[in-house]
Amino acid sequence: MNTPTPTAAVDHLDLLESHAIFILREVAAECERPVLLFSGGKDSAVLLHLAAKAFAPQRIPFPIMHVDTGHNFREVLEYRDQMAEHYQAQLLIAKVQDSIDQGRVPDPGPLGMRNRLQTVTLLDAINAHTFDAAFGGARRDEDKARAKERVLSFRDSFGQWDPRHQRPELWQLYQGKVNPGEHLRAFPLSDWTELDVWQYIQRENVPLPAIYFAHKRPVIKRNGMWLAAGEFVHPVPGEVIERHLVRYRTVGDASCTGAVLSSASTIADIITEISTTNVSERGATRADDKFSETAMEDRKREGYF
């Protein structure tokens, strides 16, 4: 018998973690076929880590799914496969290219942005697998439309979110019943901020893809953002390829996710960096949020993450 250690004072990370684990267990218990959406980004990395903790020593009792735009960072794909193997999780891959080949979405061309197209691929996969709940790593501090969303967010049989008619969600009574064809999005990290996520990654040693840390990369400046030059982004007349020390604050489609100039090479460096930044995470790195005032709300209504 080992003597239990005295319990340390409960801090806000403990409470956020416990709340997230509570949501994971509640949805897993109430829904028939949940799935965890895994992009390989830091938020889904934390979500996967929490799912493993919530059900240990059993395996995670639902599959994980990557919606693959085909515009990937090599490091992220390697990381995705490593994590699936590490947690012995069933990995499903839903490919936007398949949706294009099947004529479900228009082909934007080899270099076109594919972020919005993911919605169709995601909804088709949810239908095909008859998932009734999809866990996502979205946080309310990311965007003003997300700030409005429930922890369990109802989607009708068209996959749509109706922000005017959300279910009341009182206390921590998360009720996840849906009729066939409908589903829920479940956001265990709703109340986490970007800083909370990084502090938690530091505390728990959550592994991350290498692109989150400073590295030299050929980049092109386009609309104020540094895009990785290479397979998916080519310079147009007037643009030049430069080499800079950069890192990524978010992981998304490689054709529209920007890098930030940074020398932060450790998690402690990153925490210092984001504690003092003047620019939001999506503002710094996502071209697709700059289309209109309510770009995220419009995508979410259609069924986006």
Partner 1 sequence: MTTETPVELLRFATVGSVDDGKSTLIGRLLVDTRQLFDDQLDAVAEASAKRGVGDLDLSFVTDGLRAEREQGITIDVAYRYASTPTRKFVIADCPGHVQYTRNMATGASTADLALVVLDANQGLKEQTRRHLCIAALLGVRNIIVAANKMDMADWDRAPYDAVVKQIDELGERLGFESSLVIPVSALMGDNVVERSNEESWYEGPTVLEALEQATAGSWSSSNSGARLPIQWVLRQNGGGRTYAGMVNGASLHVGDAVTLLPQNLETTVRAIKGVRGDGSEAAPGLSVDVDLASDTDAGRGDMLATAPLPTVTREIEATVCWFGETPLSTGTRLRLKHTSRTTPARVSDLHGVVDIATLDVAPGEQLAMNEIGLVTIQTAEPLVVDDYRDNRVTGSFVLIDERTNATVAAGMVGHVDFL
Which spans of this chain sit near partner 1 (rule: CB under 8 A)? 2, 4-12, 14-15, 17-19, 21-22, 25-26, 28-30, 53-58, 140-141, 143-145, 147-148, 150, 163-164, 166-173, 175, 177-179, 190-191, 193, 199, 202-203, 268, 271, 277-280, 283-284, 293-294, 297-298
Local structure of 170: helix, strand or coil: coil
Our CB check for partner 1 shows the closer of 118 and 153 to be: 153
What the block records as the tokens of 196 is 């909370």
Task: Respond yes or no on whether the N-terminal peptide bond of residue 57 is cis (omega within 30° of 0).
Answer: yes
Residue 3: CB minimum distance to partner 1, A: 8
For residue 41, what is the DSSP state? S
User: Taking a C-beta distance cutoff of 8 angstroms, is the pair 104, 87 a contact?
Assistant: no
- The three-state secondary structure class of 191 is coil
Looking at the Cβ atoms of 70 and 283, the one nearer to partner 1 is: 283
Tell me the C-alpha to C-alpha distance, in Å, between residue 264 and each of 197, 259, 273. Answer: 16, 12, 7
**Per-residue CA distances from 287 to 65, 70, 105, 224, 225 (Å):** 24, 17, 20, 9, 8
Angle at 233 between CA 256 and CA 237, to 5 degrees: 115
Q: Residue 68: beta bridge partners?
A: 95
In whole angstroms, the minimum distance from the beta carbon of 205 to partner 1 comes to 13
The continuous run of DSSP H or E covering 227 comes out as strand 225-228
Encoded amino acid at 245, one letter: L
DSSP state letter for 147? G
- Which alpha helices (DSSP H) does the chain contain, by range? 12-30, 42-55, 74-86, 96-101, 118-128, 194-204, 267-276, 281-285, 295-302
Count the neighbouring beta carbons within 10 Å of the beta carbon of residue 109.
Answer: 8
Closest separation in Å from C-beta 282 to partner 1? 8
Q: Which of residues 75 and 298 has its CB atom nearest to partner 1 in the complex? A: 298
In the complex, least distance from residue 11 CB atom to partner 1, rounded to whole angstroms: 5
Closer to partner 1 at the Cβ: 195 or 241?
A: 195
Q: How far is the CB of 123 from partner 1 (least distance, A)?
A: 20
Contact 47, 40 (CB under 8 A): no
Q: Decide whether 33 or 53 has the Cβ nearer to partner 1.
A: 53
In whole angstroms, the minimum distance from the beta carbon of 266 to partner 1 comes to 12
Closest approach, Cβ 116 to partner 1, in A, equals: 17
Q: How far is the CB of 184 from partner 1 (least distance, A)?
A: 10
76 or 284: CB nearest partner 1: 284
CB of 27 or CB of 89, closer to partner 1: 27
Gap between the Cα atoms of 287 and 279, Å rounded: 14
Minimum gap (Å) between residue 109 Cβ and partner 1: 29
CB-wise, 43 or 143, nearer to partner 1? 143
| Residue 254, token pair as written in the block | 């490689």
Judged by CB, which is closer to partner 1: 82, or 130? 130
